[in-house]
Amino acid sequence: MEEKDIISRMNDRFMKMSKGHKAIASFISDHYDEAAFLTAAKIGSTVGVSESTVVRFATALGYEGYPEFQKALADWVQSKLNRVQKIGTKYKNNSQSEVIHSVLSADIEKINDTITNLDPNAFSDAVDIILNAETVYVCGLRSCEPLADFLQFYLNMIRGNVILLKTTSVTEMFEQMIRISERDCIIGISFPRYSMRTLKAMEFAKDRRAKIITITDSIHSPMNLYSSCNLLARSDMVSIVDSLVAPLSLINALVVALCLKVPDSVKGNLETLETVWNNYQVYLNDEINFIDEEPMLNYPLMKLKEAEGGNTDNE
């Protein structure tokens, strides 16, 4: 069996860590390239724990001491850089069309893999949980933030009381979640490298007995430690960025399923929005629709002239 890397070890043990060890794990996860060159004392002073706590953290992960832990972290950072270099070598001599074909083919493969491995019962449960929750919290940070924005936008079209957790601070995140309870649910979105802030949000929600839905990449994801409703979508690194095509497709499917479950409610919400847009001319100044080759912006002026009996051709 392949030995787990240092980040996987931290993720696997995060839920059972002490407060001090969680602070160390969060710092290393978010600043691994910097942490690889810091002494135990420096990491301790940065996160507010003692040097000995950092050493105990290293041994708790299975390393003989901090030097071995630091070497493992440096090796992991180097392997990440090597992977990027290999990808660059792979595509270096390819034409632009070959790169497009290769990347899009890989994304198609990820979507097909997601279709094969997605649990339909978990998907159905997620739909019911979202519709029955009093308040829905959506959490996706770093590269997952666009996914969270997209999901929150459409959930707000379908139902009310949807809160998007947007923050760079764990403290601010808890402030936004302070009222979460067993009547609510939270949707956590995270892919490797898993966000420690998202994991902490899941842990807090679990302590408050809220329903938890995760959108992540595999059954081995630490996100699944907090949830019994896990939606899996494959996400692999293509270059220096992660491919989020399959997760976005999964979110699309979730939105469609929700709309089909409560069509009358969705229709009513959209009709209300349409009325608001029309009444307040939301799109009048920033979107021009052409009818019969004439911009709609010209129509009010044309109608006014017609009402006054004016004729622009004779003037």
pLDDT tens-digit readout, 94-121 = 666 766 777 787 778 888 888 888 889 9
List where CATH 1.10.10.10 sits in the chain: 6-95
Q: Exposed, middle or buried, 192 (CB in 10 Å: 0-12/13-18/19+)?
A: middle
Choice among 18-27, 67-76, 248-257, 282-291 with the minimum mean pLDDT: 282-291
C-alpha to C-alpha distance for 69 and 271, rounded to whole angstroms: 58
pLDDT digits (tens, 9 = 90+) for 181-192: 999 999 999 887
Bond prior to 159 in cis (omega within 30° of 0): no
Is pLDDT at 23 greater than 50 in this prediction? yes
- Scanning 48-144, the segments in alpha helix (DSSP H) are 51-60, 66-91, 96-117, 120-132
Cβ-based neighbours of 37, under 8 Å, separated by 6 or more:
74
Q: C-alpha angle with apex 249: 246 to 255, nearest 5 degrees?
A: 145
Structure confidence at residue 245 (pLDDT): 87
Residue with tokens 């979507």: 111
Q: Is the CB of residue 202 less than 8 Å from the CB of residue 226?
A: yes
Top mean pLDDT of 115-119, 130-134, 202-206, 305-309 is at 130-134
- Provide the phi-psi class of 309: left if phi over 0, else alpha when psi is between -120 and 50, else beta: left
Please provide the CATH number assigned to the domain covering 6-95.
1.10.10.10
Q: How many CA atoms lie within 13 A of 84 on its CB side?
A: 8
- Judged by DSSP in three states, 185 sits in strand
What does the mean pLDDT of the chain come to?
A: 79
Which of 231, 141, 123 has its CA nearest to residue 195?
Answer: 141
Helices vs. strands in the chain: H and E counts, helices first = 14, 7
For residue 231, list its beta bridge partners. 215
Please provide the CATH number assigned to the domain covering 121-267.
3.40.50.10490
pLDDT confidence of 305, banded at 50, 70, 90?
Answer: low
- Whole-model pTM: value is 0.62
Which of 211, 202, 91, 98 has its CA nearest to residue 140?
Answer: 202
Looking at residue 222, the DSSP 8-state letter turns out to be G
Mean pLDDT of 241-252: 84
